[in-house]
Amino acid sequence: MSSSPEPRVSRREFDAIFAEVRTWGRWTPADRGAWNRVTPEHVRRAASLVRSGTAVPLGLPWDTRGGPDNRRPALHHMTDLGDVEAPEPATYKDFLAVDYHGKAVSHLDALSHVAYGGRLYDGYPAGEVIGAGGARFGSVAALGPLVTKGVLLDLPAVLGTDWLEPGRAVHARDVLAAERALGVTVDEGCAVLLRSGRFRRSRELGPWDSGAASAGFHVDALPLLAERGVALLGADGDSDLRPSPVEGVHSPVHALAVAAMGVPLLDNLDLEALSAACAEAGRHEFMIVVAPLNVPGGTGSPVDPVAVL
């Protein structure tokens, strides 16, 4: 299933990259992190990318079935079948619940989701600001909605394949090659979405444990993305290459993006329809709208982002 293992990155090398891309102390409020980069001008720029008006949802269906890629299925059951309240009008109600930080739910990781060396973004000690009642720093409620330019790095389209095999790393050189091939530019305030073709592969070959093996960014791509000033990073996986190439760090891209750069992550996006829409439009830039739930103390939120071409 996997491609050849990537060369190992030592903890010392990783810590040097962490220090290189770290933006602690740069913004107020700090718990919005890199979303502070997005100004009204960025929103206007994003709106100017809307031409056909095609809206493409990026979220997965609510998945209540267990499997190798869904260890903690979501819950959905009815609480009113028209027989609880007075007869007219009949009402029907349901209940939803989910342990969403996994591989089966499209979700946003807020800045309280990841600590490295015991510290959240901006240096906050995780043990002091996160407890049973939630997070007092880096909550998803601090982020609010995001509207900005989105860039789809469609690596299978660039490489002429249906998908990237699990374990295939996306290096900085691959990002640069994708920019050239797709005619896009990753720049300040934009959202970068990486398509590996995970869900096409899953639909054709069957699901697998993507927590053990998945295509994703190598850590050497993060300094480039940091230099470009991205505001959001997302993927049809969770952006991390698995198995991790970094000794003792199971999710190095999460650590670099969230804890060092203050860049929230979008995990488990279904990018197949967006890939087709971008190919038809002949462009891989669009307006993206992300509206997480307003959960005080929450470490993230299920989301159904929308790309508008």
pLDDT 10s per residue in the chain (309 long)? 445 567 899 999 999 999 999 999 999 999 999 999 999 999 999 999 999 999 999 999 999 999 999 999 999 999 999 998 888 999 999 999 999 999 999 999 999 999 999 999 999 999 999 999 999 999 999 999 999 999 999 999 999 999 999 999 999 999 999 999 999 999 999 999 999 999 999 999 999 999 999 999 999 999 999 999 999 999 999 999 999 999 999 999 999 999 999 999 999 999 999 999 999 999 999 999 999 999 999 999 999 999 999
Give the span between the Cα atoms of 173 and 191, in whole angstroms.
19
pLDDT of residue 171: 98
What is the SS3 assignment for 38? Answer: coil
Q: Which residue do the tokens 């000794």 mark?
A: 247
Q: What is the pLDDT of residues 104-126, one digit of tens each?
A: 999 999 999 999 999 999 999 99
What is the SS3 assignment for 203? Answer: helix
pLDDT of residue 200: 98
pLDDT of residue 1: 43
According to DSSP, the β-strands at 265-267 and 107-109 are antiparallel
Which pTM does this prediction carry?
0.96
pLDDT of residue 5: 67
Q: Which of 24, 294, 285 is nearest to 149 (CA)?
A: 285
CA dihedral 118, 6, 60, 67 (to 10 degrees): -90
pLDDT of residue 2: 43
